[in-house]
Homo-oligomer: A and B are copies of this chain.
Amino acid sequence: MKIALVGIGKIAVDQHVPAIAASDDWELAATVSRHGSVEGVEAFDDFDAMLAARSDIRVVSLCLPPVPRFEYAAKAIRAGRHVMLEKPPGATLAECHMLERMAHAHGVSIYATWHSREADKVSAAKKWLSDKTLNSLHVTWKEDVRRWHPGQEWVWEPGGMGVFDPGINALSIVTEILPDDVHLKSAYLDIPSNKQTPIGAALEFVHPTGAAVTADFDWRQTGDQIWMIEAVTEQGTLTLTDGGARILIDGIEDAVQSENPLHGEYPNLYAKMARLVTNGGVDMDLRPMVHVSDALALGRRTAVEPFYE
């Protein structure tokens, strides 16, 4: 199937282009970008022009930042194209709901991707937790913003989500692996006094059986970087670490078999998109974004020292 990639920035070059190239399902048939392009692929700088010129391309993958993404997605759907969205699927929840309704109305597929859910050991964690009794789950997601987002001033602007930009990856895994849905009970947000978005967040969720479900997100972590989820159950303790790449049960590495074909986060996303288009499905799971929105809407804000890069 032919696909067009829109927004040729770092994530497109590092992840999307190689994943498409390695796939038997997809042929990268066009790019749309003001600056970037991919060698040997027809390059457009105008999205409308691409839609008009290339009616043979039925699928569009959007790797633009969340704020302008809605307009592109809406145009693609109105033009009868299937749409794949980088995370988060939009700037607002209202626009995501609207895209889902539009996709149904136009009979096209839409896929809100969550790449961290495709990390190697996430499906094994989900399977292991499916028949366990949960006592507690704690997320520790601590990284150095200076190292991972150098010069990216937009993460501190409204809509940039601050530490929820990585934190939403953790929440996409939690909502995938837990058999029961949770909802936010309280959130504490540390906001640098010269910024709009949090540099740290502590969340507490309500779990239907009363398990303690909590998360600590921090962008001030120097030294070792931590992307870890620990679930304590009646039947043992699961540790998912390195962002989902490693799994331990009671401290023993790979004690459970991985279900994933192990070909990487973005190749898995593109394989899922191929199945979705073939089967005519819609996959718009907004739960990670709902939790972030709930936390930003309800969180108790504390001003902390200003942040300078």
Contacts and interface: CB of A to CB of B under 8 A. Distances in A.
B70 A158 contact: no
A298 B158 contact: yes
Contact of A296 (B182, B206, B296, B300): B296
A182 B187 CA distance: 28
Nearest to A181: B98
Interface in A76-130: 91-95, 97-98, 101
A290 interface: yes
A16 interface: no
A88 B201 CA distance: 25
A291 B287 CA distance: 16
Interface residues of A, number: 31
A91 B291 contact: no
A297 interface: yes
Contacts of A93: 93, 290, 293-294
B292 A158 contact: no
A243 interface: no
Nearest to A160: B298
A184 interface: yes
Contacts of A300: 158, 196
Interface string A157-168: 011000000000
A183 interface: yes
A93 B291 CA distance: 8
A87 to B, nearest CB: 16
Given A158-B300, A196-B301, A294 B184 contact: no
B297 A97 contact: no
A244 interface: no
Nearest to A186: B158
Contacts of A158: 186-187, 298-300
A294 B292 CA distance: 10
Contacts of A299: 158
Contacts of A182: 94
Contacts of A70: 183, 206
A293 B297 contact: yes
B292 A94 contact: no
B196 A92 contact: no
A70 B294 CA distance: 15
A72 to B, nearest CB: 13
A179 B94 CA distance: 15
Interface of A: 70, 91-95, 97-98, 101, 158-159, 181-184, 186-187, 196, 206, 287, 290-294, 296-301
5 contacts: A92-B294, A94-B287, A95-B206, A98-B181, A196-B301
Given A92-B290, A94-B182, 10 more contacts: A92-B294, A93-B294, A94-B183, A94-B291, A94-B294, A95-B183, A158-B298, A293-B297, A296-B296, A297-B297
